[in-house]
Structure 1
Amino acid sequence: MARGTSLIAVAVLASLASTACSAVAGDDRPEPRVTDAAGDPRAGGEGGAPAGAPTDGSGGDGDKSEGKRTSKGPLADMTVVIDPGHNGGNEDAPDEINKLVPAGPSKKECDTVGAESNGGYAEHAFTWDFSQRLADRLEAEGATVVLTRDDDKGVGPCINERAKIGNDAEADAAISIHADGGPASGRGFHLIAPGEVEGFTEDIVEPSRQLAKDVRAAYREGSGLPYADYLAEDGLDERTDLGGLNLSTVPKVFLEAGNMRNPADAKKLADEEWREEAAGAVAEGIARYLQRD
C-alpha cells in the first residue's frame, strides 16, 4: 500500500499503523493526497510476482504527503479515505501485528499478513497498487483523498488506527481495499458492510450499505468479475466482527476485489490493465454514492 513519505492525517495525527483481507490518472490531476496510518481482515482477506504486479510499492509515483482540495470537479467538496489492506512489512513483525487492539466491543489482532496468489502475488502489493490507482481517479474528479499508509514496506497501521484516520478526516466515504484468500474453487468479488453493533455502528449501517451497493454495481460492470460464489449473497456481506468497520464513525465498506487463490481471479488481479479499469469502476461507484441527494 503506499505513496508519499510522511503519514499525515487531516488534523495532525501521531504515528499510526493497518486492516483485513484500486485507477491511475495522468499528470493532469489535483494536488497530492494526505497519507496517514488503518482496517481489519480475515487471514486471507483483511485480510516471484506476475508481470505487471509490483510487490515493492513501485505502483507509486512519487512523494504524496499533503492533500489539498481542488476547486474543480464534481467531487470538489468531498473527502474519501482509502485504506490499502495489510502492509509489506507485516510478515517480518509478528509481535507488532499480533498485539491485541480495540475492535469494537472486543479486541483483535492489530493486523494480518494477508493472502497471496499461487504465483506469489501478495495481497498487500495488490491493495497498495489498486489504492493508488483509485486515489488518482478520485482526485481527478476533485476529491480530497486520504490514504491510511504511505508505502508498502512498513508495518500496519493497526485496525483501530485505520478507522481513526477516516474518523479524524471526517470522510464522506471510506473504503478498505482487499483481495480474499478463499477456496481455490471459489470465484468472484464481494463488498462487506458493517452490521449493527450496539454502541458502535448504529449511525453508519444505512449509509455504508448504500455505499456498498453503489460500489458493487459499478465494480461488477467495470471489472468483469462475478459476485463471489463461495460466500455472501449477491456480492454483499454484512459483518460485525471487523474492527475497521466497528470503529468507524463515517460510512465505510470493505472491497474484496477477487479471490487470490482462484487461478482465474488471480490472473486478473495481477494484470495492470485490468487493475486500472477495475479501480476506475470503484471510483465510479464511490462517486455515485457521494453525488446522491
Structure 2
Amino acid sequence: MSTIVFLHAHPDDETSQTAGMMALAARGGHRVVTVFATDGDHGERPDDLGPEGDLVEHRREEARAAAAVLGVARIDWLGYRDSGMTGWDQNDDPLCLHRADVDEAAGRLVRILDREDADVLVGYDHHGNYGHPDHIAVHRIARRAVETAARRPRLVEATTNRDAQLEMLDSPEAAEFLRSLAAGGMDLDLDRIRQAILTGDDGLPIGVAESEITWAIDLPPDVVELKRRAMACHASQTSDIGMMLAFPPDIYAVAFGTEYLIEPGGDGPMRHGWPFG
C-alpha cells in the first residue's frame, strides 16, 4: 500500500476537489495525509462564533471532522496565512502564502513528505483550478517539493474538467435545477454561470480542457455521499460549500461525482480508472 499526501490551499478545498479519491484510497488501505498550506483565516465567520471566537481553530476543527469522515490518517499545516482572493489587500501580507518564498514553502512540505516516506503527492494544476493566488502557489510548491524530497514521490495534480462543466450547463437537469433555485428566490442563469467558468478568479478559465486531463475517477454513489458529508463538516463556509450542498442529490452527483487528475508528462486521452494501484 502507498502513502498519498494531498496538498490543499485552504480547509474545505479538500472536500470539493479530492474527497472522493481520498475516501477510496483510505478504503483501499492506503495511508492518506492531508496538508493545508494556509489557515483559512479569511474565510467566512459563522454567526455563532461571535466576534471574539477563533476562526482559525474553528476551521481546523471542521477539517478534522471532514478527515474523520474520509478516513484521513493525519492532517498537517504549512503555517501560512490565507492570501484572500485576487486583488485583495491580504495579498500583500508578508506572512500569506501568496508572498511566501517557493523554496522555503517547499522545504516545509518536503519535511512532511520525508517523514511520511510519501509515494504520491497530489497538488493542483498550473492555474490552481480557478486562479486563486493560494491555489497557484500550491501548484508551484508541490512541483518544487518533489524535486527535493529524499524519496521523490510521484506527482499528480487535481483539476476540473472545463468541457464537462460547460456541457453540464446544457443538460435538462441543470435547467430544472436553476428553475428550482429561481422559485426559491436565488437568481442564477446559465449565461452568468458559463461566464464564471470562463473567467475564474483572475479572468482566466476555470479548470482545463478534457484533452489535458490524464485520469477521471468516477465515484460510486456511497463515496459521493461520503464526499457530501465531508463537505457538510465545513458548514461555516456558506457562500461556496453552502451553495454546493444546496444541490439536490442528482445534480450533486453529476457535478461532484467525478474527480480529475493531471499526470505531468502523461499521455492522453483521458482515461477513466483508479490511478493509485
The structure richer in helix per residue is 2
TM-score normalized by structure 1? 0.31
Structure of greater Rg: 2
- The normalised TM-score by structure 2 is 0.32
